[in-house]
């Protein structure tokens, strides 16, 4: 207890340096705990399911005639689930198809339900996945119009009432009856849901998948034993061959099949692995910078506290007691830092949740993962406490009789080096992420999105292809066009920035096939959205089409484009053929995470219920007016407009979250480094005050004193900043691999960033040392 008493007294006497230590520890713990907990949270993806060791996913890949294998794809054919269960009864307990690509709007009365995560499954979904059903019979999922709700969603919607038998509307077209409740699922599974609707419901719209169409299902397989995976994979391709062609496909291609452990699916994406590695680097960077800054602040006081250590040793304290006293000091500051971190998490929970992509921050802190923040605290305690503690413990007892002259300059500069390197690295990553997000949001997407918004009617027009549907959509478009805040209106099948319907088309000469993304539109649509005509004319008759420049290139059409036909279009011009009459600039419908797609736009108004409205300025106010108008005029249509800026922002949300993570880390590490630098300069000017005074008496100007101090810091900073910026450039290049058409920032920008950091460092030194450099030297000498 005496050690604790002395520790508290020491902390109270050294409030200034302790404030620096506390800031370092608090910010380091805040960011470190969040990043490391997020990493562990994602490393546990898909481990929620009971018996997840026996759960796998079915995938396929194409292999060319030359033996070149493509990527494994896990969106596949619906009948594969039944085929696997039928072919391997001794290995497969059950299998289920899951559909998640379509996220409908759900309503109770006229109120749209918020934060719904919809999944479509069949009667074997819960049994296969290992999710507990709390109420109801899953066999009712065999019928269209039935659904199960998660426990929390049922309580949110119906309170304490029994939700079974309650109804809601899907897209204001289908009435859905709640048939049961299942346990809540966490966010770290590949396809989380709080509403499970029966597959036959969605297949009323999209059709039931076959071996030749709608390869948009995910197939989950539950094995009888964990060791059955390899046995299944050794025979699976042959078994699937009994149901569909796996050999002798297009141009001699063959199809290979496998099942993948469900816990490996998330990490089958190199983008996910790459991001986690970078997050780990960021976490360790701020972790060590915080620890080194604490150590720097402690070592800086060694000259002032050496005599105190000598007194303790004269009174019988040994090395262990001195070490323990400094560990107590670190422990008390750590406790305050933990409390500060928790308070910051509480105060800024909303932006933290947005940054990490969580519905609530508590998701990453469970009893299974509580060891992560605990281990972070322990490691930071050891890093921050042991190094200075050992230095103080080794001070000889003779220091009670004379001034301690060992200023540990090499240690201080080494600790500063680590901090400068860390801030340079994270600043470089921040520059990359900020630039890339700006590029994704501002880069040309093939049409004019300025003041353009989009909304889809989900009901109210009758059936597709009918005259009632065409007239109803046209009536809505005309009504919107007449509003004084509207500039122009165009109609198409879907949004411009999403996955269109697709069809493989053979290139000229039969050398390859390319996947053509196509959608349908009504007359006037290309002009309304600002497509740019490169060649030909706008379509005038149903079945006429526009194609992108990349399609012309990929299909080897050369200069002979006009009059070409796109065959096997899903609907097209009634007979399944679309005639090309124009070429437009490529539309980046899939964003910039993929390369350019081959796009085509086919004139056919019988499928168009998505309205593209270009508003007059000001956009925000007029968007509110537009949504109010359609809600009042067409309450049953389900139309809700979003600006294309918001559509693009949603599509690039992962990049925004990464940018914000790096931004938060950068701000924290910059604060840590600046407080450490100010503390170091303060200690140096105090320690060298007599030297500075003598120099001034001998004629030195204040500017020369400032240059002297700045030069000492720059000797450490230049090398650290160069290494940190170079490492940031290397890691940034790795991160940019997920954007096929993007380029890394020019090295010139990284060099300029390094110069700015060095300037900031020198500026901090000058501002802190300005007083001592201009002080009357007599004040320092007379105290000698």
**Given this model, what pLDDT does residue 12 score?**
54
pLDDT averaged over the chain? Answer: 87
**Given this model, what pLDDT does residue 727 score?**
96
Q: Point out the least confidently predicted range of 225-239, 436-450, 694-708.
A: 694-708
What tens digit of pLDDT does each residue of 598-633 get? 999 999 998 899 999 999 999 999 999 999 999 999
Q: What is the DSSP letter of 636?
A: T
- Report the distance separating Cα 383 and Cα 683, nearest Å: 22
Residue 426 banded pLDDT, cuts 50, 70, 90: very high
- Listed in order, strand segments (DSSP E) in 199-274 are 218-223, 254-261
Residues forming beta bridges with residue 505, ordered by sequence position = 514
* Cβ 429 vs Cβ 651: under 8 Å: no
**Given this model, what pLDDT does residue 128 score?**
98
The encoded tokens of residue 106 equal 């759900």
Nearest residue to 103 (alpha-carbon basis) of 214, 192, 221, 215 = 192
What number is the average pLDDT over the span 41-64? 94
Residue 707 banded pLDDT, cuts 50, 70, 90: confident
What tens digit of pLDDT does each residue of 472-495 get? 999 999 999 999 999 999 999 999
**Given this model, what pLDDT does residue 400 score?**
46
**Given this model, what pLDDT does residue 273 score?**
92
Q: What is the DSSP letter of 54?
A: G
- Report the distance separating Cα 462 and Cα 159, nearest Å: 35
Q: Point out the least confidently predicted range of 37-46, 243-252, 276-285, 363-372.
A: 243-252
What tens digit of pLDDT does each residue of 546-558 get? 999 999 999 999 8
Residues forming beta bridges with residue 254, ordered by sequence position = 63
What tens digit of pLDDT does each residue of 656-665 get? 999 999 999 9
**Given this model, what pLDDT does residue 641 score?**
96
* Cβ 458 vs Cβ 174: under 8 Å: no
pLDDT at 408 over 80: no
Residue 7 banded pLDDT, cuts 50, 70, 90: low
Contacts of 723 (CB under 8 A, 6+ apart): 421, 424
What number is the average pLDDT over the span 700-721? 87
pLDDT at 504 over 70: yes
**Given this model, what pLDDT does residue 480 score?**
96
**Given this model, what pLDDT does residue 385 score?**
79
**Given this model, what pLDDT does residue 14 score?**
55
What tens digit of pLDDT does each residue of 520-571 get? 999 999 999 999 999 999 999 999 999 999 999 999 998 889 999 886 545 4
Contacts 24+ apart (CB under 8 A), 99-102: 99/199, 99/202, 99/216, 99/217, 99/218, 100/191, 100/193, 100/218, 101/75, 101/216, 101/499, 102/202, 102/205, 102/206
**Given this model, what pLDDT does residue 443 score?**
92
**Given this model, what pLDDT does residue 572 score?**
41
- Could you tell me what percent of the chain has a pLDDT over 90? 59
What number is the average pLDDT over the span 755-783? 79
Nearest residue to 543 (alpha-carbon basis) of 517, 514, 563, 515 = 563
pLDDT at 130 over 90: yes
What number is the average pLDDT over the span 107-116? 90
The encoded tokens of residue 306 equal 């050496």
Count of CB atoms within 10 A of residue 16's CB?
11
pTM: 0.86
Nearest residue to 769 (alpha-carbon basis) of 702, 718, 717, 716 = 702
């Amino acid at each position: 207890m005496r050690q604790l008493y002395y520790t508290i007294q020491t902390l109270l006497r050294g409030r200034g340096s302790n404030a620096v230590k506390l800031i370092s520890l608090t910010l380091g713990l805040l960011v470190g705990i969040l990043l490391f907990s997020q990493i562990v949270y994602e490393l546990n993806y898909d481990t929620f399911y009971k018996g997840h060791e026996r759960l796998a996913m079915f995938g396929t890949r194409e292999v060319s005639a030359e033996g070149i294998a493509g990527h494994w794809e896990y969106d596949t054919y619906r009948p594969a689930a039944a085929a696997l269960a039928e072919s391997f009864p001794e290995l497969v307990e059950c299998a289920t198809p899951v559909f998640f690509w379509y996220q409908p709007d759900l309503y109770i009365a006229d109120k749209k339900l918020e934060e719904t995560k919809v999944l479509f499954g069949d009667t074997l979904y819960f049994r296969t996945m290992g999710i507990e059903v709390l109420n109801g019979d899953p066999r009712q999922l065999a019928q269209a119009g039935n659904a199960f709700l998660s426990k929390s969603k049922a309580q949110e919607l119906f309170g304490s009432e029994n939700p079974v038998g309650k109804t809601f509307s899907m897209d204001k077209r289908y009435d859905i009856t709640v048939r049961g409740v299942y346990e809540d699922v966490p966010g770290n599974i590949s396809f989380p849901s709080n509403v499970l609707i029966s597959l036959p419901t969605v297949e009323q719209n999209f059709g039931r998948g076959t071996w030749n169409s709608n390869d948009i299902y995910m197939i989950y397989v539950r094995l009888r034993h964990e060791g059955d995976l390899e046995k299944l994979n050794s025979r699976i391709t042959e078994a699937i061959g009994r149901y569909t062609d796996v050999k002798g496909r297009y141009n001699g291609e063959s199809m290979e099949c496998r099942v993948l452990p469900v816990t490996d699916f998330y990490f089958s994406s190199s983008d996910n692995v790459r991001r986690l590695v970078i997050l780990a680097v960021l976490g360790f960077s701020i972790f060590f910078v915080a620890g080194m800054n604490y150590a720097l602040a402690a070592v800086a006081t060694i000259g002032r506290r050496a005599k105190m250590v000598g007194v303790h040793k004269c009174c019988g304290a040994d090395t262990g007691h001195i070490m323990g006293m400094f560990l107590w000091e670190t422990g008390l500051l750590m406790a305050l830092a933990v409390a500060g971190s928790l308070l910051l998490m509480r105060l800024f929970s909303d932006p933290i949740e947005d940054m990490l992509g969580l519905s609530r921050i508590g998701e990453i802190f469970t009893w299974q993962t509580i060891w992560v923040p605990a281990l972070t605290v322990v490691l930071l305690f050891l890093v921050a406490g042991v190094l200075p503690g050992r230095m103080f413990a080794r001070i000889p007892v003779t220091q009670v009789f004379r001034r301690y002259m060992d200023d540990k300059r090499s240690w201080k500069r080494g600790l500063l080096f680590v901090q400068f390197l860390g801030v340079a690295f994270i600043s470089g990553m921040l520059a990359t992420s900020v630039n890339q997000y700006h590029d994704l949001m501002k880069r040309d997407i093939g049409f004019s999105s300025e003041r353009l918004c989009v909304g889809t009617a989900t009901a109210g027009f009758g059936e597709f292809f009918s005259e009632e549907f065409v007239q109803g959509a046209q009536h809505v478009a005309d009504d919107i066009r007449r509003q004084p805040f509207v500039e122009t209106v165009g109609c198409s099948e879907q949004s411009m920035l999403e996955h269109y319907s697709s069809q493989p088309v053979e290139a000229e000469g039969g050398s390859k096939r390319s996947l053509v993304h196509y959608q349908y539109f009504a007359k006037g649509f290309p002009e309304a959205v600002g497509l740019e005509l490169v060649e030909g004319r706008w379509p005038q008759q149903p079945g006429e089409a526009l194609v992108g420049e990349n399609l012309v290139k990929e299909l080897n059409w050369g200069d002979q484009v006009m009059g070409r036909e796109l065959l096997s279009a899903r609907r097209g011009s009634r007979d399944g053929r679309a005639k090309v009459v124009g070429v437009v600039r490529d539309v980046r419908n899939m964003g910039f995470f993929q390369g350019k797609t081959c796009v085509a736009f086919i004139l056919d108004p019988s499928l168009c219920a998505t309205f593209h409205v270009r508003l007059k300025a000001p956009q925000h106010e007029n968007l509110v007016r537009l949504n109010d108008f359609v809600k009042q005029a067409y309450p049953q249509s389900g139309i809700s407009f979003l600006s294309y800026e918001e559509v693009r922002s949603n599509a690039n949300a992962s990049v925004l979250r990464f940018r914000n993570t790096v931004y938060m880390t950068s701000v924290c590490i910059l604060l840590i480094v600046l407080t450490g630098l100010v503390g170091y300069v303060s200690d140096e000017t105090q320690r060298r005050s007599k030297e500075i005074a003598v120099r001034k008496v001998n004629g030195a100007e204040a500017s020369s004193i400032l240059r002297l101090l700045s030069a000492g810091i720059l000797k450490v900073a230049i090398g650290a900043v160069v290494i940190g910026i170079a490492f940031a450039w290397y890691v940034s290049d790795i991160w940019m691999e997920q954007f096929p058409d993007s380029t890394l920032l020019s090295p010139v920008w990284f060099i300029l960033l390094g110069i700015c950091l060095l300037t900031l460092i020198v500026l901090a030194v000058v501002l802190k040392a300005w007083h001592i450099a201009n002080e009357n030297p007599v004040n320092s000498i007379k105290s000698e």
